[in-house]
């Protein structure tokens, strides 16, 4: 199959770089076509702004999604965006390789989401989740963290890692129609011995070697939702993230202490 690896780390010789290299080598050895978007090496523009639109639909007021839709339709979207969209369109599997910075993707990767998944390419009216424009494609995150697996446990001080990744898993990938594999996570590679790092790379190679058998994440199908887009009364929340409003509210009405 065709694989796109989006790589978002400033140091090619980092552990993130090693994970990317292992992925490229493993997938190619298995006969897959692999493209890599090395965002730092390309100097990828992170910020969605007026410069993305050579011809403006409305030159007096910048509404990003309306300009995106107009530029997609007219074929005037910025060439760097079009190139990335071409890679996504060709891919059957998209792998995002990045370090977790402040509980999210590095800005250069967030910018790749903001700029590449335009209205018109990434979504449009009536096309989201089950009817998303990327349906038929799969995606997977490969993420390193700076703190331990315990801190990212569901009852850890940082919060559950799958919950923290929901904005990407559900918000970008499932929203646009991807089927999403469970992520490959490596905690604190900077504290590992060379032997431990080699074992992690070997584990990742094995995972990719059997990518078609890798677990996927469950998201409720659209039939589980009412017209208000909330889970129907008889549906038990099963995404691990959604819940009935029975959990404690974190809002302390007393104000600052």
d(CA 50, CA 170) in angstroms, rounded, equals: 28
Residues 34 and 3: beta-carbon distance below 8 Å? yes
Sorted by sequence, the CB contacts under 8 Å of residue 207 that are 6+ apart come out as: 184, 214
- The burial of 93, by beta-carbon neighbours within 10 Å (0-12 exposed, 13-18 middle, 19 or more buried), is given as buried
Name which of 28 and 135 has its Cβ closer to a copy of itself: 135
Q: How far apart are CA 59 and CA 79, in angstroms?
A: 20
Smaller CB distance to a copy of itself: residue 205 or 235? 235
Q: How near is the Cβ of 157 to a copy of itself at its closest, in Å? A: 4
Residue 77 bridge partners (DSSP): 53
- The neighbouring-strand residues paired with 38 are 7
Nearer to a copy of itself by Cβ, of 82 and 166: the residue is 166
Nearer to a copy of itself, 86 or 171 (CB): 171
> CB of 141: closest distance to a copy of itself in angstroms?
13
| Token couple for 61 | 């007021």
């Amino acid at each position: 199959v065709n694989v796109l690896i989006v790589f978002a780390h400033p140091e090619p010789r980092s552990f993130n770089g090693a994970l990317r290299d292992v992925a490229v080598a493993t997938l190619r050895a298995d006969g897959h076509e692999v493209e890599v978007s090395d965002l730092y090496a390309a100097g990828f523009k992170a910020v969605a702004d007026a410069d993305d639109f050579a011809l403006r639909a409305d030159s007096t007021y910048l509404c990003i999604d309306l300009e995106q839709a107009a530029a997609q339709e007219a074929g005037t979207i910025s060439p760097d965006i079009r190139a990335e969209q071409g890679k996504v369109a060709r891919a059957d599997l998209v792998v995002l390789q990045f370090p977790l910075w402040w509980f999210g993707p590095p800005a250069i990767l967030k910018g790749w989401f903001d700029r590449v998944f335009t209205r018109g390419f990434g979504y449009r009216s009536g096309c989201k989740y089950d009817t998303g424009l990327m349906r038929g494609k799969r995606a997977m995150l490969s993420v390193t963290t700076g703190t331990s697996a315990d801190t990212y446990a569901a009852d850890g001080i940082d919060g559950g890692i799958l919950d923290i990744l929901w904005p990407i898993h559900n918000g970008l990938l499932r929203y646009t129609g991807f089927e999403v594999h469970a992520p490959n996570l490596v905690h604190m590679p900077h504290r590992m011995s060379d032997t431990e790092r080699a074992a992690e790379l070997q584990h990742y190679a094995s995972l990719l070697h059997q990518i078609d058998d890798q677990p996927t994440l469950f998201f409720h199908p659209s039939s589980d939702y009412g017209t208000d887009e909330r889970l129907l009364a008889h549906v038990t929340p099963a995404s691990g993230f959604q819940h009935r409003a029975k959990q404690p509210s974190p809002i302390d009405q007393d104000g600052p202490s």
